[in-house]
């Protein structure tokens, strides 16, 4: 038994204490504009003081109704997704659904997590953010609730538009775009910080684009300049980029430029170069991929491929709701990225 009996506090008690009507308290709670800031503050104070919790029965009913969307995010610490999650949350709330987020590690199967979640609670739909979905077709079909793949490396699996909705960028094309840009700056020896050796998703596709650009410019691919991330370090992280760049710097292979397959790895590369007493972009140019906020604030500012993460997030949720409302069939939308030319890359001085 608790010592305080605040559990039975109702909206009427709050109204009484404040000397206002119940409807005024209700308006204050729901943030209506037609209430004076002073009264609102008074009510807010009383609500806090008495520990009153708005008995939002409508909201609870909705929950019981299963009006919940799950967002399953691959990669706990990917800063690219923090904004996407916030946008999705707002859109989901606007439609009076509740949202549950689950973060899965790179070694977990996101589809299994979603299936487990669907057992636990009645989900209306699922957004997969940043997953891979290689050979996951059959598992996805077991979900039996609508879902969309957002910013996912789903190209690999040749998933067709009729079966699932996919919102992503063309990783091969964007890998090509950046490499082509770096070559035009005069770089011929471009090292890449890529995915795992057995990558079958975004890393593989970006690398394919890199190789195509070299080939088109008549530059031979040098396998020694293709570095793969370490398995025992967080994937696509600053630390992974740092380690790979240290290897490059202490190795015998000449290079004038680094193309990292994430901005975080590019930042790790910049730090490794600084620690070696060298400068970006004076000694080495460095380019990233993603367009995370930190790239704007880093010193030097990062040249990168900016993924339109806001648009992707918005469109993913909007389409999921259209599918739920049976207003749309499945779609496959490829978003175009933007190449941001900034401080970390420059023309290679011709010697």
Q: Is 227 left (phi over 0), alpha (psi -120 to 50) or beta?
A: beta
Q: Which residue from 32, 94, 135, 189 is in contact with a copy of itself, where contact means CB under 8 A?
A: 135
The tokens of 119 are what? 């057992």
Task: Using alpha carbons only, give the angle 185, 188, 190 rounded to the nearest 5 degrees.
Answer: 95
Q: Which of 42, 91, 103, 291 binds a copy of itself (CB under 8 A)?
A: 103
Other C-beta atoms closer than 10 Å to the C-beta of 206 total 28
Looking at residue 251, what DSSP letter applies? S
Nearest to a copy of itself of 45, 224 (CB atom): 45
> Using the rule CB under 8 A, is 112 a contact of a copy of itself?
yes
The number of residues in the chain equals 351
336 binding a copy of itself? (CB under 8 A): no
Q: How far is the CB of 162 from a copy of itself (least distance, A)?
A: 12
Is 139 a binding residue for a copy of itself by CB under 8 A? The answer is yes
Among 299, 329, 334, 338, binds a copy of itself (CB under 8 A): 299
Distance of closest approach, residue 231 Cβ to a copy of itself, in angstroms:
14
Residue 196 found at the interface with a copy of itself (CB under 8 A): no
Let me know: does 240 contact 233? Beta carbons within 8 Å. yes
How many angstroms separate the Cα of 84 from the Cα of each of 53, 92, 116, 236, 323?
30, 12, 23, 18, 20
Under rule CB under 8 A, residue 334 binds a copy of itself? no
Q: Are 245 and 193 in contact (CB under 8 A)?
A: yes
Residues that bind a copy of itself (CB under 8 A): 2, 4, 6-7, 48-51, 53, 59-60, 63, 76-77, 79, 82-83, 85-86, 100-103, 112, 115-116, 119-121, 135-139, 141-142, 144, 238-239, 242, 267-268, 270-271, 274, 293-294, 296-300
């Amino acid at each position: 038994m608790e010592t305080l009996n605040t559990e039975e506090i109702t909206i009427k008690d709050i109204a009484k204490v404040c000397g206002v009507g119940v409807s005024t308290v209700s308006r204050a709670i729901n943030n209506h504009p037609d209430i004076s800031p002073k009264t609102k503050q008074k009510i807010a104070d009383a609500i806090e003081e008495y520990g009153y919790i708005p008995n939002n029965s409508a909201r609870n009913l909705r929950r019981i109704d299963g009006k919940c969307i799950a967002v399953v995010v691959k990669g706990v610490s990917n800063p690219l997704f923090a904004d996407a999650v916030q946008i999705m949350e707002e859109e989901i709330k606007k439609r009076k659904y509740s949202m549950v987020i689950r973060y899965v590690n790179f070694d977990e199967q996101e589809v299994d997590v979603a299936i487990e979640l669907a057992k636990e609670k009645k989900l209306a739909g699922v957004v997969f953010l940043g997953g891979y979905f290689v050979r996951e077709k059959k598992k996805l079909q077991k979900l039996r609730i609508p879902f969309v793949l957002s910013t996912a490396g789903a190209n690999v699996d040749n998933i067709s538009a009729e079966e699932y909705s996919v919102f992503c960028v063309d990783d091969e094309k964007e890998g090509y775009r950046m490499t082509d840009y770096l070559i035009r700056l005069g770089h011929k020896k471009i090292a890449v910080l890529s995915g795992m050796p057995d990558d079958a998703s975004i890393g593989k596709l970006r690398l394919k684009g890199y190789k195509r650009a070299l080939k088109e410019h008549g530059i031979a691919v040098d396998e020694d300049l293709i570095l793969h991330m370490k398995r025992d370090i967080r994937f696509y992280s600053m630390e992974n980029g740092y380690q790979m760049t240290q290897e490059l710097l202490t190795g015998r292979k000449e290079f004038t430029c680094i193309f990292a397959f994430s901005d975080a790895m590019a930042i790790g590369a910049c730090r490794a170069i600084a620690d070696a007493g060298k400068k970006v972009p004076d000694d080495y140019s460095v380019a990233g991929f993603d367009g995370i906020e930190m790239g704007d604030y880093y010193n030097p500012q990062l040249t990168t491929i900016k993924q339109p993460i806001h648009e992707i997030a918005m469109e993913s949720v909007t389409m999921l709701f259209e599918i739920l409302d049976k207003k749309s069939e499945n779609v496959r939308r490829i978003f175009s990225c933007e190449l941001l030319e900034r401080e970390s890359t420059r023309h290679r001085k011709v010697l």
